Amino acid sequence: MTFDRSVKIAPSILSADFADFGREIQAVEAEGADWIHVDVMDGHFVPNLTFGPPAVKAFRPHVKTFMDVHLMIAPVDSYIDAYADAGADMLTAHVEAGPHPHRTLQAIKVAGMQAGIALNPGTPAEAVRELLPLADMVLVMTVNPGFGGQKFIDMTAKVRTIREWIGDRPIHIQIDGGVTPETAPLVVEAGADVLVAGSAVFKGGSVSNPAPYGENMRAIRASIS
Ligand code: DX5
Ligand code: ZN
């Protein structure tokens, strides 16, 4: 598959109806989602607890696009095979999750997935520089991870720096946290190509009234065109 740097919207199902994930995934894809973003939290690396591998495996048959799994867990390595078995297309680990992120990215690729590396707002770009040759994606967090619906923290200078280092290499830059039609243009202009959005996509809609999902995604796309 050729590398695609056009802007993609990845709704985070953290903002979906937790009693109805299958239909929520189908609805948001039917309304135009490019990827599905799954936030895995362990109650230790971040102060919230979400989906283990069996839950992610249950989401898999509903995802027809691309299942993007964001691990907010530490340690990571002992869970890589379980998330591969669950069907993740992209598995992203945090650079802050342990002393050996290089080994983690190698292990994700050996397990047959694309490998992403995430940075918290307090972590400088330099922390991922030596990891770029192994990365398919860099995730720049624009909130402190753990919860949806938080206020955007401006990380455009960091995005710009990483985009310059990437050059022509086939590496995505993903933004996660507080993405709205107001903030999306800032990060896209700086070089991001994958926009995660939870509350800004799911607000106002439901599986029985999914049209707002499409309207919300079109509003984000319109803001960057
Ligand atoms: C935060 C998660 C995000 C979150 C984004 O820890 O990684 O994916 O769901 O939610 P919004 O778009 O509401 O900021
Ligand atoms: Zn996320």
The percent of residues in the chain predicted with pLDDT above 90, rounded, is 99
Q: How far, in Å, from the CA of 106 to the mean position of ligand 2?
A: 21
Q: Is 12 annotated as a binding residue?
A: yes
Please check whether residue 221 is in contact with residue 7, taking contact to mean a CB–CB distance below 8 angstroms.
yes
- Residues 188 and 175: their CA atoms lie apart, in Å, by 9
Q: How far, in Å, from the CA of 20 to the mean position of ligand 2?
A: 19
- Residue 1 pLDDT exceeds 70: no
Average pLDDT of 53-58?
98
Q: Which residues of 17-54 are buried (b: 16+ CB within 10 A; e: fewer)?
A: eeeebebbbbbbbebbbbbbbbbbbbeebbeeebbebe
Q: Is 37 annotated as a binding residue?
A: yes
Question: Could you tell me which CATH number the domain at 8-223 has?
Answer: 3.20.20.70
Q: How far, in Å, from the CA of 17 to the mean position of ligand 1?
A: 15
What pLDDT shows up at residue 2? 86
Pocket test for ligand 1, best of 9, 14, 67, 203 (most atoms within 8 A of CB): 14
Please check whether residue 15 is in contact with residue 150, taking contact to mean a CB–CB distance below 8 angstroms.
no
> When comparing pLDDT for 1 and 77, which is higher?
77
Which of 214, 221, 171 lies closest to 195 in space, CA to CA? 221
Helix (H, G, I), strand (E, B) or coil at 139: strand
Average pLDDT of 40-44?
98
Q: Is 100 annotated as a binding residue?
A: no
- Residues 211 and 224: their CA atoms lie apart, in Å, by 21
Report pLDDT digits (tens) over 11-24: 999 999 999 999 99
Q: Is 70 in the pocket of ligand 1 (CB under 6 A)?
A: yes
